[in-house]
Structure 1
């Protein structure tokens, strides 16, 4: 409580023995013990009164609910129980749910729309690839053209031009 070690207690006892005297020392320690007991009792009573007030106002219940709601371990166990329940109810080979006629009609419409989207996406991808290939071919031809020009101009001319002679 006061964080006093044995050496400090011994020093306090020696000083008390010198100041109070050997006759009155037991009486003083008895009085000090009673005072300490009264202080501890008052602190316990105050703590109990605060706990009772908190219980009456519902703070303890709210704190308990909040603690259980935010507990990661409890949240994990709840999710695990949900998954286990779903697994217990699952029957392999059985359709998960039955589909009504309107839903089936919507499913057919959605399948058709998805097919159209896939076709248009594939066509766009093919067009893009063809455009990229044409662009690459044009860039290659453009890069090869200056080389051919340099090669033809750098070639030695063996035959002089024939003129009027």
Structure 2
């Protein structure tokens, strides 16, 4: 992510030690690590959400193509998308059928 070498990290560490002092440095490092971790988790969550939305959009487009072809003589990719959507619809409807 960042192109920081050993010497740059060493300079940052020495400067942080001089500015913050040995008493406050461990707390500042923990706080920085916690903040970076939360930012990384947020970025990963956003990335996963975008990927999921793209996948749903692709399935929707494939379903439109399949409907235009009358759900007959579909390419393997379209047939796979239709089957996946059918399985998802069945799994959603199953809890309601049991009652």
Instruction: Please tell me the TM-score bracket, short chain as reference.
Output: 0.5 to 0.7
Unmatched tracts of structure 1, length 5 or more: 66-165
Tell me, yes or no, if structure 1 residue 58 matches structure 2 residue 58.
Answer: yes
For normalisation by structure 1, the TM-score amounts to: 0.36
- Please state whether the residue corresponding to 1:23 is helix, strand or coil: helix
User: Which protein, 1 or 2, shows the higher relative CO under an 8 Å CA cutoff with sep ≥ 6?
Assistant: 2
- The structure with the largest alpha-carbon Rg is 1
Aligned length in residues: 62
Q: Over the residues paired in the alignment, what is the CA RMSD in angstroms?
A: 1.7
The structure 1 segments of at least 4 consecutive aligned residues displaced by more than 4 Å after TM superposition are none
1:46-94: CA deviation from partner (whole Å, max 9, x where unpaired): 10000010011017x87xx6xxxxxxxxxxxxxxxxxxxxxxxxxxxxx
Pairwise mapping of residues 1-165 of structure 1 onto structure 2 (< 5 A)? 1-58=1-58
Aligned to 1:108: none
Q: Which has the higher helix share?
A: 2
For normalisation by structure 2, the TM-score amounts to: 0.59
Unmatched tracts of structure 2, length 5 or more: 63-76, 78-99
